[in-house]
Structures are given as structure tokens and as C-alpha cells.
A and B are shown apart, each in its own frame.
Chain A
């Protein structure tokens, strides 16, 4: 029996009033996500083609693209976007696979999971600042080794951070994307009988890592494909991490677009729009190439499986996976610790490992502002996440009850807000907010955040939701429960963990938003992120440290709930906790 048949049966037997509204939920969800993107893209495409009457652009032509290509940094900026995006995504995915393949089901895996999961909540900007301070020539690593080992009395003149190849930026992205992909993989692993499969394969003589890669990875990858694409699109077009860790001569294309957008010479708006369109094209092309690589990997993988080797180098692979996981958690953990120390630092001479003096002045001075920004952040993130969760659950349930089987095209609709680079539709969103009279308010910001929060919530939740074994529903129906009762008493409790994880992801996504908050909020809506980035221009690590910590805390709490609550609630239900 298929999911669709069961769902269709459920829908026809109970024609309640509420159920007649339910079929519209997917459409409403798609509208909430895509209408702003469509308007935003229009607001970008038209100026790219020369149409922006307020700035005297009335003609249609390709002048803006000619100007874009004439910019001497264009080839390098575009190449950087591709190389950093691909490297960050491939390395992150490989590390996650290694960790899961080598250690799933062991005590070390539980440890790695506990160490990495909270890092997901660390906002990108905070993580990037932390890592920059760790690896910079004047950073903690250099301080720890100086002068006794290196002989450095002063920081060496080495180009480590903001290197022209974007290596520091790739490292920063990997450190942030590994926890994200790992959590997505964990949600998916709960739906695949990976433990048993690996055990069977091991009984047939396969090494642990080989068994996982051959049997579990193909099943899991299907479920984490959407997050992987999101990571690729995000890494290719990220702005804040690129500003902090990426090169500047020239910067990546997205960063340059943002710079052109804020250039006082308004003529650059056209060029910025053209750059945004080029960035969009790059991301689409990047995804196409990735898809081709998937096919190639699948072919190679099948041949590998058919050859029937039992695997070698298992110990080395396992060690590498564990080492990488520890390195990632150390990088972010120490980075955040560094920011914490900076937030209370007095003067701090190189190469001292700790500040010369400590002071609470930064916290005392900025405490009230941090509190008010924090409450604004929580209100916005809470509202956006609640709406996103409600729409997502309604859509998925409608899909289930009415047999609305998601087509491939519908899936791609969901990708759009994650694939379209933020820079590509922000000016358009601003115009939209203005023309609907929502300009400058918290409501407009919440709706703008919803565009980014919804896809993440949907992506996190839809796979485990759809992979839920519908026979549970059949059994419950056979025992006399209606579809509502099945939803509330069986499905939601069983899926509590993925639901909470999805909410936490949505919350963290909202907390980290900078450009949408600034532009749609007309600068009037001050969240921890907008404040931190504004202060980052000042470069004072003490204040950045204080804000970054507050920002991290705001994003962290929901994750703590997502991890702890199911354990607490289902402590008497071994199968539901699946830790």
C-alpha cells in the first residue's frame, strides 16, 4: 500500500470544514515564500536591464552587464564564488559522511554529535569572527606558540585571513556547514534502518566505514540532498562570512554586489543588479554541475559496490573523520571562547595568551542595548518560526490526507528562496515592503524572514515527515481513530524531535539574518545581528565579542530545547528518543 492511497482514503472519509481549507495550505506556503522572491527578482532584473525610472533608467539594454564584465575584478570574483562554494560544500559533506560512516552507533558518535550539534546555532558572523581571531597571525594559535616555539615577539606578516584563494573563508564555511549537514543527516538517519543495515553488511565481512558508505549513504543522501543544495547555494553567495574571512582584492561576487548597491554613486545600482543576476546564474550553474557530479558519483559507487570489496584503510578513515569533527568543534568552540575573553578584555599585548587586564566595562556599557536588541530578535524569530512551522505542518498534513503527492517541480519551488542569492532579491523586497505599506516595521521584517525561514523549516521537516511509516496511521485508523486523532496522538508525538529541530533551525536562520532585517526594516528594526554587524565596522573585538555571544545564545536556546525536550518527554519510550 502506498502513502498516497492511505492518505486519499483518509481524506474522503472525513469531509470536515477545516479539511476543506487544508488543501490550500501548500499553495499558501508557496505564496508566502515565492511572492516576495518573485517581486524581489523583478526589482533586480529590471534595473539589470536598464529599467529604473527613479534613477533615470528607461531603456532596455545590456549596458549594465557590459559594465559588470568591464569591472577588472569580475573573472576572479566569479571564480572565487564557484571555488569557495564547491570546496566548502564538498569538504563539509565528505567530513559528515566520514564521521557518520566511521562512528555511527558508537559512544564516540554520541560525543561528536553532542559536541557538534550546538555549534549549528552559532551565527555565521560570530563563528567567522571567532575563527579569524584564532588563525590570524596575531590570533590565539600564534600566541600559544609564541615566542617559545616561533620566536615571534610581534605577529608575523603572513596573509592567513582574507587570503586571495579564499582558504580561510572555506575553512569558516566548513566549520559552520558540518554541524548543519550533520544534524540534517541525523534527522534523516532516524528514518533509515542504518544500524541494522550496517550490522548485516558487517556480518558479511564489510568494514564499518565501507558498509555505511555502500548501504546507508545512498539512502541518506536522497534525504539530505536538499540541505546539501542549500549549503552549496549559500556558500557560493554568502556575504557576511566572505566579508570577515574572504579576500578583498577582489572580494567574492556577492560582496562586490552589496558594495555596489551601497555605493553613493547611484549609477552603480544598475551594475549591482547585473552582478546579482550573474550571481544567480552562477548558483544555478553550480547546482547543475553538482547534479552531474551526483550522477558520476552514483555510477562510480555502483561499480564499487558491484566489485564487492570489503574495504580497507578503515582505521585511518575513522581516525580522520573523528579528528576532523574534533577540529571543527574546537575551531568554533575556541573561537567563541576567544570572543568571550575579548568581551571582558582590557589591553591585550601580543604574544600574551590572556589579556593584560580584565574589565566588565563593555558589558556594563552595552548591556541595556544588548537586552533590547535581544528581545527584538527573539520576537521576530519566534513569530517567523511559528508561522513557518504552522504552514509547514499544515502543508505536509494536507499532502498526507489529500494525497497531494509532491511533484519534482513542487520540490524545486521550495529550493528557490535558498538558491536565489539573498543579494538578488533584497532591493526588490524593499520595494515590495514599501508598496504594501508594511515598510519599516517589525511585521515586514517577520514576513521577510519568513521567506528564508520557511524553506529551512520545510526542508528539515519534510523528509522525516514523509519517511514516517504510514502503517502506524493504518494501525491507528484500524483501532478507530480519525485522521485528526492520528495526527495529534501518533504522528506529531512520534515526529516531535524532527519538528523541534526544524523549529530550531528556523529560529537560528532568523537570528542570523542581516541584510533582510536592515533593508526591509528600514534600519529601524534592531536585532542582535544588525547591531553586531554595524559595530563590526568599528573593529573593536570587545563589543563584537559581547554581541556575538548574545547572538549565539539567542540562537542556541531552541536547539537545546530540540535536543533535550524529546529525551525528557520520551524518557519512558526508548524508540521515540532515538538519540
Chain B
């Protein structure tokens, strides 16, 4: 293409006026040139914003930080968040202040509505994830959740690093045969008032309980994969609200107070206040038993017809300071070594995003060597995973729940 001299002159003048080129305007690191990324990453400090509420998770992050520092010269600082939305807020504030480079967040553990919000607001760098060297091991075919985050296509803007599935745990010392359907849960709760609860929406686990119930109770769950606007919301959710109206009076504290997070339920269970709880980590009960946080009589179960499964991701904000370093960290976390360590029930016990048949025999042996925790179900027992509904459902369900139960007298 011809470039007119006039235009070149104009561009040069503008450049002079604009002053020296800012760093971010220089070529962003290209994951296709991995050696280049590794070179650029060496010496960088990656501020990784990740939920800091679990000591098992924090320990894994510390381990990864040590390894990445030793092998690639990248320093990782774990910024422990109480809520992932804090990191999103941070990036928004930076954008509002015009700080389009050298942002404070380099890597963020994200999924679901936070991802949808950041993607919609153009707050993400990329695409980069599918060009990472370890992407070839990812189970794209067997785990559709790794490329569709709550049905929103990831389009390489975030890299999957863990799988989660809804399970319930219960104390066998107090419950003989746990219910396997929502009708069963209601009957059980009526027979045992005050012994069941769920985290208060919009806590993500509480909202997940609503979604799981909606899938179990809706006349035709297939409409949930599309935006809520395209379905008859009233009709689809009517059975859910009827169920909740019946359930709430027999909940813990008669539904006048709720635990504020998933892990808080572990404490309630340990205190003997509740007998059954929802979790998004099939290994949570085993890990909690190992940490003396739950009695040894606790076991895990799933519902008939399958439970919701999703993937956790790592994303890089558009104004991150250490994009190359962030990619190196994400790639390391997707490596068979890091994934196998993460799946170890004595550590975190979080599911892998990799396809075991894509791995070398040595790498596969790392996974085969893992033993299931005492309260962890085998993959067969865990059964089918159901896809997350479109994020717009979660938003509507949360709003409705708050209006119906969140401001009760």
C-alpha cells in the first residue's frame, strides 16, 4: 500500500507532539514466539490477583511462584483477594484514570460473570491463551468448559487452569442416606429443619446452588444455554421459586441469615450446626478432614442426572505491566507437572484441564500415582457434568433471589 508523504509527515508530527512512545505501545509479547516471551519475561514481576481465602490454594500458588522464579526468572506476587471483583474494579479504575499501561494487575484468576464483564468492556489482553506451548495438552474436545466460560466463548482471552464440579458433602454420623434430587432435599430439610443452608447469593457458590436447582427443576433446561432474554423467564423459574419458598422456612436460621461463603459452611458443619452443604470442589471434604476442619465421618455425594461443572481461568488485563511474565506463569500452571500437583488430594485436589491421553507416559504416570482422598468420589461416581447456564441467568436469578429472600423481615 502506498503511503502518501503528507500522511507520513503528519504522523511524524503527531508522534513528536505525543512525546516518547509509551512502553505498552511497543510490540506486545507474541506467544507464537515463545522464546521471545521467555526472554522478555525474565526479570519481570507478575502481580497475580487471585482469591486468597483457602490455604490449600495459597500453598499451590506459592509453590508455583517458587518454581517459576527458579526456572524462568519470573517473580510472582500473589495478591490475595477476598473477591475477584476487586481486581476487576482495579482495572476499571485504572481505565477511568487513563492508565492504559503499567497497570497493577498482571494476571487474574477469573471466570463466569467477571470474565463476561471484562470481555464486554474490552479490559482484556489477547488473544494469547491458545498459542501457549502447553495448550496442546488441554482437553478441548472432552471438556467444552475450557473454551466456553459460562457459555461465553473464551476466544483465547483466558487460559484454563482448573476444573470444578458441584458436589454436596454430608456427615454420615448424622445423615444415613443423603437425598439425590431437589425434591429429596426439600423432604429431608422439612424432616430436619435448620440443618441445611447454602451461601447467600450473590456469593458464587450460593448462586450456583440456585442454578443447580433451576437445572433440576426447570421444565426444559435446554433454554438455559441461551441468554435469559430469549426464554420465558417467569415460566422457566416458577418451579424454582416455588421450591425456594418451601425450603426457606426450614433452612438453617429459618433463612433469616446465611453463611457468607462456601468455606464458612465447613465451619458450620464442623460445629454441628448443619448436616449437608454444597461445594464446588469435589476434594473439599477430603482436604478439610486432612486439615482437622471436618470430622472423619464426612463424605461426598452428587445429584442424580449430574451436576454443574466449570473451568477456572487466568486472564491478563489489557494494561498489565508484565504480559510476557504473566503468560509464562499461565503456561507453567497448565503444564502436566503443575496440573498433577494441583490434583493431588493431599494438597488442593482441583481437577485438571488436560486430556490424559494427550500426555507422554511419564506425565500420565504423575496423574496415575494420585490417590483419591477419603471423602472424594472417583471420576465415575462424580458422573456427568452439566454446562453452566448463560451468565445472564445468574444475574437475573441473583436479583430475584435478593428481592424475594435477601431483604426478608
Contact bitstring B257-273, A, C-beta under 8 A = 1, else 0: 11111011111101111
- Tell yes or no: A300 within 8 A of B by CB: no
Q: What CA separation (Å) do A541 and B55 show in the bound complex?
A: 12
List B4-20 residues whose CB lies under 8 Å from chain A: none
- Tell yes or no: B403 within 8 A of A by CB: yes
- Tell yes or no: A343 within 8 A of B by CB: no
Contact partners of B264 in chain A: CB under 8 A? 539
Find out whether the CB atom of B295 lies under 8 angstroms from the CB atom of A349: yes
Find out whether the CB atom of A72 lies under 8 angstroms from the CB atom of B402: yes
Find out whether the CB atom of B121 lies under 8 angstroms from the CB atom of A266: yes
Across the interface, B77 reaches (CB within 8 A) one of A157, A524, A530, A537, namely A524
Find out whether the CB atom of A431 lies under 8 angstroms from the CB atom of B97: yes
Contact partners of B87 in chain A: CB under 8 A? 523
Find out whether the CB atom of A159 lies under 8 angstroms from the CB atom of B254: yes
Find out whether the CB atom of B97 lies under 8 angstroms from the CB atom of A523: no
Contact partners of B77 in chain A: CB under 8 A? 524
Contact partners of A162 in chain B: CB under 8 A? 257
- Tell yes or no: A263 within 8 A of B by CB: yes
Across the interface, A249 reaches (CB within 8 A) one of B95, B252, B271, B405, namely B405
Q: What CA separation (Å) do A561 and B85 show in the bound complex?
A: 40
Q: What CA separation (Å) do A60 and B295 show in the bound complex?
A: 57
- Tell yes or no: A131 within 8 A of B by CB: no
Q: What CA separation (Å) do A76 and B256 show in the bound complex?
A: 14
- Tell yes or no: B193 within 8 A of A by CB: yes
Across the interface, A262 reaches (CB within 8 A) one of B52, B83, B99, B113, namely B83
Across the interface, B117 reaches (CB within 8 A) one of A72, A76, A265, A350, namely A265
Contact bitstring A414-433, B, C-beta under 8 A = 1, else 0: 00000000000001001100
Closest partner residue, chain A, to B49 (CB atom):
A523
Find out whether the CB atom of A522 lies under 8 angstroms from the CB atom of B55: no
Contact bitstring B37-78, A, C-beta under 8 A = 1, else 0: 000000000010101111100010000000000000000010
Contact partners of B89 in chain A: CB under 8 A? 261-262, 427, 519
Contact partners of A365 in chain B: CB under 8 A? 55, 59
- Tell yes or no: B386 within 8 A of A by CB: no
Contact partners of B47 in chain A: CB under 8 A? 522-524
List B113-134 residues whose CB lies under 8 Å from chain A: 113-114, 116-117, 121
Across the interface, B96 reaches (CB within 8 A) one of A54, A161, A259, A265, namely A54
Size of interface on B: residues with Cβ below 8 Å to A: 72
Contact partners of A535 in chain B: CB under 8 A? 52-53, 55, 80
Find out whether the CB atom of A157 lies under 8 angstroms from the CB atom of B194: yes
Contact partners of A536 in chain B: CB under 8 A? 53, 82
Contact bitstring A44-64, B, C-beta under 8 A = 1, else 0: 000000001111000000000
Closest CB in chain B relative to A43 CB, distance in Å? 9
Q: What CA separation (Å) do A522 and B403 show in the bound complex?
A: 33
List A513-549 residues whose CB lies under 8 Å from chain B: 518-519, 522-524, 526, 530-531, 533-543
Contact partners of A572 in chain B: CB under 8 A? none
Contact partners of B49 in chain A: CB under 8 A? 523
- Tell yes or no: A4 within 8 A of B by CB: no
Contact partners of B105 in chain A: CB under 8 A? 522-523
Find out whether the CB atom of B253 lies under 8 angstroms from the CB atom of A430: no
- Tell yes or no: A34 within 8 A of B by CB: no
Find out whether the CB atom of B253 lies under 8 angstroms from the CB atom of A434: no
- Tell yes or no: A357 within 8 A of B by CB: yes
Contact partners of B95 in chain A: CB under 8 A? 54
Total contacts A to B, CB within 8 angstroms? 183
Closest partner residue, chain B, to A345 (CB atom):
B292
Contact partners of B259 in chain A: CB under 8 A? 539
Find out whether the CB atom of A538 lies under 8 angstroms from the CB atom of B81: no
Q: What CA separation (Å) do A269 and B88 show in the bound complex?
A: 12
Closest CB in chain A relative to B381 CB, distance in Å? 26
Q: What CA separation (Å) do A540 and B93 show in the bound complex?
A: 31
Closest partner residue, chain A, to B116 (CB atom):
A264
Q: What CA separation (Å) do A346 and B59 show in the bound complex?
A: 19
Across the interface, B85 reaches (CB within 8 A) one of A262, A357, A440, A538, namely A262
- Report whether over half of chain B's contact residues are helix, strand or loop; otherwise say mixed: mixed
Find out whether the CB atom of B193 lies under 8 angstroms from the CB atom of A157: yes
Find out whether the CB atom of B267 lies under 8 angstroms from the CB atom of A540: yes
Size of interface on A: residues with Cβ below 8 Å to B: 66
Across the interface, B104 reaches (CB within 8 A) one of A366, A439, A539, namely A439
Q: What CA separation (Å) do A414 and B85 show in the bound complex?
A: 33
Find out whether the CB atom of B79 lies under 8 angstroms from the CB atom of A524: yes
- Tell yes or no: A247 within 8 A of B by CB: yes
Q: What CA separation (Å) do A162 and B256 show in the bound complex?
A: 9
Contact partners of B21 in chain A: CB under 8 A? none
Q: What CA separation (Å) do A279 and B54 show in the bound complex?
A: 33
Find out whether the CB atom of A250 lies under 8 angstroms from the CB atom of B406: yes
- Tell yes or no: B409 within 8 A of A by CB: yes
Known contacts A264-B117, A439-B104, A523-B104; A54/B267 CB under 8 A: no
Find out whether the CB atom of A348 lies under 8 angstroms from the CB atom of B270: yes
Contact partners of A524 in chain B: CB under 8 A? 47, 77, 79, 104
Closest partner residue, chain A, to B56 (CB atom):
A538
- Tell yes or no: B212 within 8 A of A by CB: no
- Tell yes or no: B92 within 8 A of A by CB: yes
Contact partners of A52 in chain B: CB under 8 A? 96
Q: What CA separation (Å) do A53 and B47 show in the bound complex?
A: 27
Closest partner residue, chain B, to A430 (CB atom):
B93
Closest CB in chain B relative to A188 CB, distance in Å? 38
Known contacts A52-B96, A523-B86; A247/B55 CB under 8 A: no
Contact partners of A73 in chain B: CB under 8 A? 402, 406-407
- Tell yes or no: B155 within 8 A of A by CB: no
Contact partners of B51 in chain A: CB under 8 A? 537
Find out whether the CB atom of A248 lies under 8 angstroms from the CB atom of B257: yes
Contact bitstring A291-329, B, C-beta under 8 A = 1, else 0: 000000000000000000000000000000000000000
Chain B residues at the A interface, C-beta cutoff of 8 Å = 47, 49, 51-55, 59, 77, 79-90, 92-99, 104-105, 113-114, 116-117, 121, 193-195, 200, 202, 252-254, 256-261, 263-268, 270-273, 292-295, 395, 402-403, 405-409
Can you offer 13 A-B residue contacts whose CB atoms are under 8 A? A55-B96, A72-B407, A155-B272, A163-B257, A249-B256, A265-B113, A365-B55, A519-B90, A522-B90, A523-B86, A524-B104, A531-B80, A534-B81
Chain A residues at the B interface, C-beta cutoff of 8 Å = 52-55, 72-73, 76, 137-138, 154-155, 157, 159, 161-164, 243, 247-250, 259, 261-266, 269, 345-350, 357, 359, 365-366, 427, 430-431, 434-435, 439-440, 518-519, 522-524, 526, 530-531, 533-543
The 7 closest A-B pairs by CB, nearest first: A157-B194, A522-B104, A538-B53, A54-B96, A138-B271, A73-B407, A539-B264
Q: A157-B193, A347-B295, A539-B265 are in contact. List 12 more A-B contacts (CB 8 A).
A: A54-B96, A72-B402, A154-B273, A159-B256, A161-B257, A243-B260, A248-B258, A249-B257, A266-B121, A345-B292, A427-B93, A536-B82
